[in-house]
Structure 1
Amino acid sequence: MEEEKRVEVHREERTDSGMVGATFIKYAAYLIIFFGVLWFLISYVFPMF
């Protein structure tokens, strides 16, 4: 006769708000730099041609 074992696993999903904020700021900075370079190209470089 086999015994049936029941195992309960409790997993807590924690979001570290500090890490989320830092990641958001990092990608926001990437986007600002990207659009800044794009604006520079459109405003100054393309009119030269």
Structure 2
Amino acid sequence: MEEKKQIEVKSEEKTDNSLVGATFIKYAAYIIIFFGFLWFLLNYVFPMFN
């Protein structure tokens, strides 16, 4: 006699908060570096051409 077993598969989608935080920190660092570079250009490089 053959027995059939039913297997129930549950999948839960979770948001990984540590991954979201790490991504936010990474892009925030990119933005800070970009504005720091822009500030450097405006304060030190562009005045040299006057």
SS of 1:14 mapped into structure 2: coil
Structure with the greater alpha carbon radius of gyration: 2
Gaps of 5+ in 2: 1-9
Q: Which runs of 4+ in 1 moved over 6 A?
A: none
TM-score, length of structure 2 as denominator length? 0.72
Equivalent position of 2:22 in the other structure: 22
Corresponding pairs, count: 41
The answer to whether 1:46 aligns with 2:46 is: yes
Give the Cα separation in 1 of the matches to 2:22 and 2:37.
23
Corresponding residue for 1:31? Answer: 31
The RMSD of aligned alpha carbons is 1.5
Identity %: 75
Distance across 2 between alignment mates of 1:46 and 1:11: 57
Residue 14 of structure 1 and its aligned partner are, at CA, apart by 1.5
Listed as ranges, the gaps of 5+ residues in structure 1 are: 1-9
The whole-number CA distance in structure 2 between the counterparts of 1:11 and 1:39 is 48
